[in-house]
A and B are shown apart, each in its own frame.
Chain A
């Protein structure tokens, strides 16, 4: 079994379009959407929900107003700025450290377990799909990613599948690290812009930091051929295989609007190149 993560550093470079195409191209696989705070892959895979699980994680402070004497001690120790000047908890900023509950002289603060989101196991016409929804303004997205990665991997082992294909989040922080940990290959999808290059370099560093093999695809490569070339030179110097050069293609947005993967929407230049990317990655 091979685990492949599609990541990018910069958002909006085409991770989900590429991952969606892989869903249509790869045989014998499970799809996992690890962009848990802005998940989109379900819009292409049209899942039928089979299982729904609560994601419990962390705690939130709750103040009992009957016991609170408004002494303000909690405010002075809270480093998350989660307690307002009237000694009320702003729960979206509470990181659950519980320090206030220990420090309160009146025992007015207790910690409550958080339901921080939900995760799902679904059927799709492309095979099983594990996805999640982090509660609005919640933390611990890295833990939720780890949870659905685990569920996806177990399902893949049970059904003797060949691939776990992960649609990753943007950035380089905790959900990205959780999406990358232990994968066999990371595919970086970038675009020929200075921002795309800057961000791809940072996420490649993260992958290398965790000893993960990296390949790279340039999406909309013909938007700026000079920068596309700079990216290829960078890849050459760092022994990163370039898995594909996907041209700018209006069919990509049209396919999205119809809720279809690009390879199923039409025979077009972008679809053909994504097929090549899959051949290189698989």
Chain B
């Protein structure tokens, strides 16, 4: 089973929930898909055993074969190639803008002269490790790099279907999140009971409904703010699977990179229960269809 942990708003406790859930269970693979700002390693402290480059395939022009016909420029939806045709016997040339390239492969596949090969442009790194029999994979987008979805896709190729997979997703509602949660069997939405938390929860719920991924809500710092998140969940008939009250102790241990269950062992049972609830909802949904 693949469980992803997401939220519209940042800083609501995605990593906290993902990490503690992972540490409470057995036979886990943990994927930190927040490749812009990966944090789970701070808590899980995996021993990294393998590093591999993440890349986008970008075009490389074989000038000897190129007829400067302009087909590549025409098909590139991202304006990442410009062709300057030759004139007066002067040879034309092709300019590639690698940072605009999405690596879709259209130019190389459609070039009539097969003059375009693909070369890998490095966009980040994927690190694979382990800690106490938990498998760990995360990605780290290079600074200055705009596009994270290709890195997330590459990262997700490491999913190990023989394990319970926990995915820590990035915040927001746009393409990096979609790419991270795609294919999950269940998604936990972590929120906080404030107007910001509610506003962004509503957006995240819309995303999951469109993707048809079953989900439940975790309310973090559940005793601050107001009751509107709970009201909304009831109205929409969405299960609230866990509440974590604010505690200065938890906040301080978070700040030091210490998981809640290491500070307060009673939380382990709560996270195991969370998992059992997810499984129950999943099997109920399965029997309905």
Contacts and interface: CB of A to CB of B under 8 A. Distances in A.
Nearest to A209: B144
Interface of A: 8-13, 16, 37-40, 43, 58-59, 77, 79-81, 92-93, 95-99, 102-103, 134, 136-139, 141-142, 169-177, 191-196, 198-199, 202-203, 205-206, 209-210, 223-224, 227, 250, 253, 256-257, 259
Nearest to A228: B255
Interface string B66-110: 000000000101100000000000000000000000111110011
B273 interface: no
Interface stretch (B7-15, B22-30, B129-137, B231-239): B7-15
Interface in B164-202: 170-179, 182, 194-196, 199-200
A177 B255 CA distance: 27
A97 B77 contact: yes
B39 interface: yes
B176 A173 contact: yes
Provide the main secondary structure of the chain B interface: loop
A249 B251 CA distance: 14
B252 interface: yes
Contact of B207 (A97, A136, A202, A227): A136
Interface residues of B, number: 61
Interface centre among B105, B141, B146 (most CB of A within 10 A): B146
Given A38-B10, A38-B199, A172-B143, 16 more contacts: A10-B39, A11-B171, A12-B11, A37-B174, A38-B8, A40-B195, A40-B196, A92-B178, A171-B36, A173-B36, A175-B174, A194-B42, A195-B39, A198-B39, A206-B143, A223-B248
Nearest to B74: A102
A171 B196 contact: no
A10 B171 CA distance: 9
26 contacts: A9-B37, A12-B171, A38-B200, A43-B196, A95-B175, A102-B110, A103-B109, A136-B206, A141-B175, A170-B10, A171-B170, A171-B171, A172-B141, A174-B146, A194-B42, A194-B255, A194-B257, A196-B255, A198-B37, A202-B143, A210-B144, A224-B255, A224-B256, A253-B224, A253-B225, A256-B225
Contacts of B144: 177, 205-206, 209-210
